[in-house]
């Protein structure tokens, strides 16, 4: 009887594949969290990495138990930082409101930097 001939062999294979892939996700999350944590000393990072190399499964479990709360806080802080940077970029690229554009153009007109025709062009463009 071959490996793929038994239904339960297939089920066990998928179960072990799922567990292994889940372990790899946890391992990569731990390694990325180690390098993201700026409060942890470099020597402690090296100790964690050595244990991850020689006793990987147990080290991942211990790390998740011992530092899981901080790991979640660092992930939330990174997500918030990325969100605020994205919002700032969008706000910068989007420009200002039409009323602000008209006010800036009016200030330039009053200063004599632009002519009345240029002011009307800017005003028309801002309102459209």
DSSP letter assigned to residue 128: -
Count the domains in the chain.
2
Collapse the DSSP code of 97 into the 3-class scheme (helix H, G, I; strand E, B; otherwise coil) and give the result. Answer: coil
Tell me whether residue 85 is in a domain. Answer: no
Q: Distance (Å, rounded) from C-alpha 36 to C-alpha 26?
A: 15
Residue 112 lies in a domain: yes
Structure-block tokens of residue 119: 């002011």
Per-residue pLDDT tens digits for 33-59: 999 888 889 999 999 999 999 999 999
Q: What percent of the chain has pLDDT over 90?
A: 45
Domain that holds residue 108: 96-128
Question: Residue 21: which pLDDT band, with cuts at 50, 70 and 90?
Answer: very high
Asked whether residue 45 is assigned to any structural domain, the reply reads yes
- Within-domain flag for 86: no
Nearby residues of 118 by Cβ (< 8 Å), 6 or more positions away: 105, 109
Q: Is residue 13 part of a domain?
A: yes
Segment holding 113, helix H or strand E: none
What pLDDT, on a 0 to 100 scale, did the predictor assign at position 3? 60
Residue 8 and residue 54 share a domain:
yes
* In a shared domain, residues 55 and 109: no
Residues 6+ apart with CB under 8 A from 88: none
**Could you give the CA distance from residue 124 to residue 75 in angstroms, rounded to a whole number?**
46
- Please tell me the distance from the alpha carbon of residue 32 to that of residue 96, in angstroms, as a whole number: 38
pTM for this entry: 0.61
The predicted pLDDT at position 88 comes to: 87
């Amino acid at each position: 009887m071959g490996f793929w001939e038994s239904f339960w062999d297939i089920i066990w294979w998928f179960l072990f594949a799922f567990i292994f892939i889940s372990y790899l996700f946890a391992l990569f999350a731990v390694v990325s969290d180690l390098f993201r944590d700026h409060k942890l000393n470099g020597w402690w990072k090296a100790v964690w990495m050595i244990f991850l190399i020689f006793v990987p499964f147990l080290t991942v479990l211990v790390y998740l138990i011992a530092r899981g709360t901080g790991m979640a806080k660092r992930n939330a802080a990174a997500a918030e930082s990325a969100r605020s940077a994205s919002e700032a970029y969008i706000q910068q690229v989007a420009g200002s409101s039409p009323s602000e554009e008209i006010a800036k153009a009016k200030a330039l007109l009053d200063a004599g930097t632009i002519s009345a025709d240029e002011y009307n062009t800017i005003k028309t463009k801002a309102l459209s």
